[in-house]
Amino acid sequence: QKEVEQDPGPLSVPEGAIVSLNCTYSNSAFQYFMWYRQYSRKGPELLMYTYSSGNKEDGRFTAQVDKSSKYISLFIRDSQPSDSATYLCAMSPGGTSYGKLTFGQGTILTVHP
């Protein structure tokens, strides 16, 4: 079983829809949770970064972490065609292994006009 599981999709939604992207994980040591966005033929770029459980909002993006369920989500409100990309969750255990990062497989999202 992979430490981090992410549905690869693809996910196709109409412009303006609310998008929900999710990851589950098995390693209870994970403390830091990140979402990256990757456009085709580009390197990933950081969208959101959260520590432990709770919500964090940044514009149209909201990240949620539920450590009790080992589940994290990224919500995109009022989705735009420019949001079409691959979304990757990533996690780090912190402590003596805080440089180590584990990614999910990535979810391919297409927002059509």
Partner 1 sequence: EAQVTQNPRYLITVTGKKLTVTCSQNMNHEYMSWYRQDPGLGLRQIYYSMNVEVTDKGDVPEGYKVSRKEKRNFPLILESPSPNQTSLYFCASSLSSRGYEQYFGPGTRLTVT
Binding region for partner 1 (CB under 8 A): 6, 8, 32, 34, 41-46, 49, 88, 90, 92, 94, 98-106
Write the CB contacts of 17 (distance below 8 Å, at least 6 apart in sequence): 79, 111
Q: How far is the CB of 79 from partner 1 (least distance, A)?
A: 22
Residue with smaller CB distance to partner 1, 18 or 98: 98
Residue with smaller CB distance to partner 1, 79 or 86: 86
Residue with smaller CB distance to partner 1, 3 or 62: 3
d(CA 11, CA 107): 7
Q: How far is the CB of 42 from partner 1 (least distance, A)?
A: 7
- SS3 of 42-101: the string is CCCEEEEEEECCEEEEECCEEEEEECCCCEEEEEECCCCHHHCEEEEEEEECCHHHCCCC
Residue with smaller CB distance to partner 1, 17 or 50: 50
Q: How far is the CB of 29 from partner 1 (least distance, A)?
A: 14
